[in-house]
Amino acid sequence: MAQTDCLKFLGHVSFPQRNLMPQLDVLSMMSVHEGLPMSMIEAMSVGLPVISTKVGGIPEALHDGENGIFAERSEDSLADKILDLYQNREKLQHLHQQAIAIFRQNFNACRMALNYHDIYQK
């Protein structure tokens, strides 16, 4: 299978959580440095599992084997993780369901407002 059969490189996409993410199986984020990326939160909101490096604030939201998978920052590691999910659709479905559940539990508007309130109270 050629690379172009599986990958499409897109430029800017408006409203990706509505226009693009529901069509994807996973979101990969192979960052060297990162805060808590909004793209990861948006992906979780539509049940899109994330394959990511374990950097910055990502481990606060991504739970390995629950709503996504951690990978080493290498082409081989990313390819192995993608192939594993491609071959194990039940695992992919589990990650999908948990991505939504963890988003609803930790990143809904009410929870976020309470978190900000707590920060300002300190």
Task: Look at residue 3 and tell me if it is in a domain.
Answer: no
pLDDT of residue 111: 86
pLDDT of residue 6: 67
pLDDT of residue 55: 96
Task: Look at residue 104 and tell me if it is in a domain.
Answer: yes
- CATH code of 52's domain: 3.40.50.2000
Task: Look at residue 92 and tell me if it is in a domain.
Answer: yes
Task: Look at residue 7 and tell me if it is in a domain.
Answer: no
pLDDT of residue 86: 93
Task: Look at residue 4 and tell me if it is in a domain.
Answer: no
Q: Which residue has the tokens 């409203």?
A: 15
pLDDT of residue 14: 83
**Token digits for 26?**
């996973």
Look up the domain containing 65 and give its range.
12-121
Count of structural domains within the chain: 1
pLDDT of residue 28: 93
Task: Look at residue 42 and tell me if it is in a domain.
Answer: yes
Give the rounded distance of the alpha carbon of 20 from its chain centre: 14
Tens-binned pLDDT, residue by residue, of the chain (122 aa): 455 566 777 778 788 777 788 888 999 999 999 999 999 999 999 999 999 999 999 999 999 999 999 999 999 999 999 999 999 999 999 999 999 999 999 998 888 888 889 999 98
pLDDT of residue 117: 92
Phi-psi region of 82 (alpha: psi -120 to 50; beta: other; left: phi over 0): alpha
Q: Other C-beta atoms within 10 Å of 27: how many?
A: 22
Report the sign of the C-alpha dihedral through residues 89, 94, 97, 98, in that order.
negative
pLDDT of residue 1: 47
Number of helices followed by number of strands (H, E) in the chain: 7, 3
Q: Which residue has the tokens 């939160």?
A: 41
Task: Look at residue 72 and tell me if it is in a domain.
Answer: yes
pLDDT of residue 3: 54
Q: Which residue has the tokens 């988003």?
A: 103
